[in-house]
């Protein structure tokens, strides 16, 4: 009888009809849900994040998936509109019943999702969200952003360290920021750092997110004659402000801070020489000191797919961090052998993860235990062609020292001469 049963099993296996070992595609997939900016003003960045997520899903599924199951991404276009976000996450949780939640790109789109995740007691991963958890203190939140345990302060600390190292030291500061979650968080840190540096704030006004003409704002800043100017803007505003600066010929010793979007190729080719002299916070550049294990392999894979996807062909800004985020989730699932979000959160708080963006560990509030922002200056940009941006020839890392590739050109009015 036993021989007969074994014979039948052998025949069925040979015919491919017997699941002797369950394959990943025989089981329901592990679903990861999120919204993403696929249309609207932030789509230029959001779509690069989606491609990075898709590359990770393809990579992990080729290896057999997780827990013997394939991974499936479930996502919706939030149209770059924060008001669309809560409804999407309610649908992901209540209708799609996804196993895990991650966010779309940026503070302004992450924060509206958090009350939904919290109300359902779900683990939540924020992508490039500045201090998104400071008002919630939610223990199941984790941040994919490099600014460490005090992100609002760290976000601008390097800018002021560079400024105050100059001779003569600046005395006055202008702050330009949008009236939105990201810029408000950034501005709080700017004021704290300005106070520490002993700077007199001569301009500090928030503009409506709907602003399209920044000329009056830049003129108002110029009228205060600030020694340095700090800007916290999202990609569409970054373009508008720098065009206004170029038109007016803003005179100041240092300009920059958080012109979000400048690392993307779309903004670089659009702005061209208007970037020259700007000192900005960034997260990663393809320089030898930042070639963490696996990151250049990912960049190569991303760039091979970027053309067909119609996204930023370089992928130096968001993509490697988006991929790293899912690396962390995947590693946590594999290590715990579970999708239980309490177990995952506990493991993620206790573990140092090895990602293509280096080693990452999380503190109690979900921020990185060790910050790693870089401060850069753009220079020698000629025209608007793509090739000048493929290698870091038009950008120098000024700080921190372990990644430094060049010296600050100061003041800003001199740095702009490279136009």
Task: Report the CATH number that the domain containing residue 61 is assigned in CATH.
Answer: 3.40.50.2300
Asked if residue 318 lies in contact with residue 127, where contact means CB atoms within 8 angstroms, the answer is yes
Long-range contacts, 8-15 (Cβ 8 Å, 24+): none
Question: What's the whole-number mean pLDDT along residues 138-154?
Answer: 97
* Residue 1: band (very low, low, confident or very high) from pLDDT cuts 50, 70, 90: very low
Domain annotation covers residue 214: yes
Residue 274 shares a structural domain with residue 396: yes
Where residue 210 falls among pLDDT bands split at 50, 70, 90? Answer: very high
Average pLDDT on 235-245 reads 97
Output the pLDDT for position 93. Answer: 98
**Assigned domain for 367 exists:** no
Written as six digits, the tokens of 24 are 């990943």
Please report whether residue 11 resides in a domain.
no
For residues 10-16, give the mean pLDDT: 37
- pLDDT category at 415 given cuts 50, 70, 90 is confident
Residue 135 counted as domain residue: yes
10 pLDDT more than 70? no
Which residue range is the domain that position 75 belongs to? 24-146+291-360
Structure confidence by residue, pLDDT tens digits, 352-398: 999 999 999 999 999 999 999 999 999 999 999 999 999 899 999 99
Q: Considering the domain boundaries, does residue 371 fall inside one?
A: no
**108 and 30 within one domain:** yes
The predicted model gives 141-149 an average pLDDT of 97
Q: What is the pLDDT of residues 304-354, one digit of tens each?
A: 999 999 999 999 999 999 999 999 999 999 999 999 999 999 999 999 999
Q: Are residues 73 and 125 in the same domain?
A: yes
pLDDT of 288 over the 70 cut: yes
Backbone Cα Rg of the chain: 23
Identify whether 322 is part of a domain: yes
- pLDDT-based confidence at residue 203 (cuts at 50, 70, 90): very high
Say whether both 273 and 218 belong to one domain: yes
Structural domains counted in the chain: 2
- Mark whether 123 and 158 lie in a shared domain: no
Residues 347 and 245 in one domain: no
Q: Which tokens hold the place of 276? A: 């020259």
- Measured CA to CA in angstroms, residue 79 lies from 261, 312, 387 at distances of 17, 18, 30
> Does 400 have pLDDT greater than 90?
yes
Closest CA to 156 of 199, 106, 206: 199
Ramachandran category for residue 383: left, alpha or beta (phi over 0 → left; psi -120 to 50 → alpha): left
Residues 186 and 274 in one domain: yes
Beta strands in 78-199 (DSSP E): 100-105, 124-127, 141-144, 172-178
Say whether pLDDT at 3 is over 70: no
Q: Residue 276 pLDDT more than 80?
A: yes
The answer to whether residues 131 and 112 belong to one domain is: yes
Average pLDDT over residues 63-75: 98
The Cβ of residue 18 has, within 10 Å, a number of other Cβ atoms equal to 13
pLDDT of 11? 36
Cα atoms in the Cβ-side hemisphere of radius 13 Å centred on 104? 30
Structure tokens, 308: 């067909």
The CA distance from 97 to 287, in Å, is 41
DSSP-derived 3-state class of residue 400: coil
């Amino acid at each position: 009888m036993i021989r007969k049963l074994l014979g039948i099993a052998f025949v069925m296996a040979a015919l491919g009809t017997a699941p002797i070992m369950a394959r990943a595609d025989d089981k329901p997939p592990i679903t990861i849900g999120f919204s993403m900016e696929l249309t609207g003003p932030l789509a230029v960045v959001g779509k690069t994040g989606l491609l990075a997520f898709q590359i990770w899903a393809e990579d992990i599924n080729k290896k057999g998936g997780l827990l013997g199951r394939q991974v499936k991404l479930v996502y919706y276009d939030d149209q770059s509109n924060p008001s669309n976000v809560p409804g999407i996450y309610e649908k992901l949780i209540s209708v799609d019943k996804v196993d895990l939640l991650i966010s779309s790109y940026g503070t302004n789109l992450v924060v509206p999702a958090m009350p939904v995740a919290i109300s359902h007691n779900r683990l939540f991963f924020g992508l490039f969200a500045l201090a998104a958890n400071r008002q919630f203190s939610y223990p199941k939140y984790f941040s994919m952003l490099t600014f460490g345990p005090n992100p609002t302060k760290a976000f601008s600390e390097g800018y002021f360290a560079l400024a105050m190292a100059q001779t003569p030291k600046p005395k006055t500061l202008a702050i330009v920021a949008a009236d939105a979650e990201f810029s408000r968080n950034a501005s709080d840190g700017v004021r704290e750092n300005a106070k520490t540096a002993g700077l007199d704030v001569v301009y500090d006004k928030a503009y409506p997110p709907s602003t399209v003409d920044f000329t009056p704002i830049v003129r108002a800043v110029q009228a205060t004659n600030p020694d340095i100017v700090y800007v916290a803007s999202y990609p569409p505003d970054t373009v508008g402000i720098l065009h206004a600066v170029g038109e007016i010929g803003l005179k100041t010793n240092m300009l920059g801070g958080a012109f979000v979007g400048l690392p993307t190729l779309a903004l670089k080719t659009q702005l061209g020489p208007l970037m020259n002299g700007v000192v900005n916070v960034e997260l990663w550049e393809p320089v030898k000191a930042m070639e963490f294990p696996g990151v250049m392999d990912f960049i190569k894979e991303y760039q091979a797919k970027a053309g067909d996807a119609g996204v930023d062909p370089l992928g130096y800004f968001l993509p490697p961090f988006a991929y790293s985020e899912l690396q962390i989730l995947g590693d946590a699932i594999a290590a715990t052998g579970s999708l239980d979000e309490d177990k995952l959160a506990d493991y993620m708080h206790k573990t140092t993860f090895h990602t293509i963006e280096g080693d990452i560990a999380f503190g109690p509030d979900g921020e990185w235990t060790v910050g790693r922002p870089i401060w850069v200056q753009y220079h020698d940009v000629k025209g608007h062609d793509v090739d000048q941006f493929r290698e870091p020839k038009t950008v120098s890392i000024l700080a921190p020292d372990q990644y430094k590739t060049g010296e600050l050109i100061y003041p800003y009015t001199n740095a702009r001469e490279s136009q």
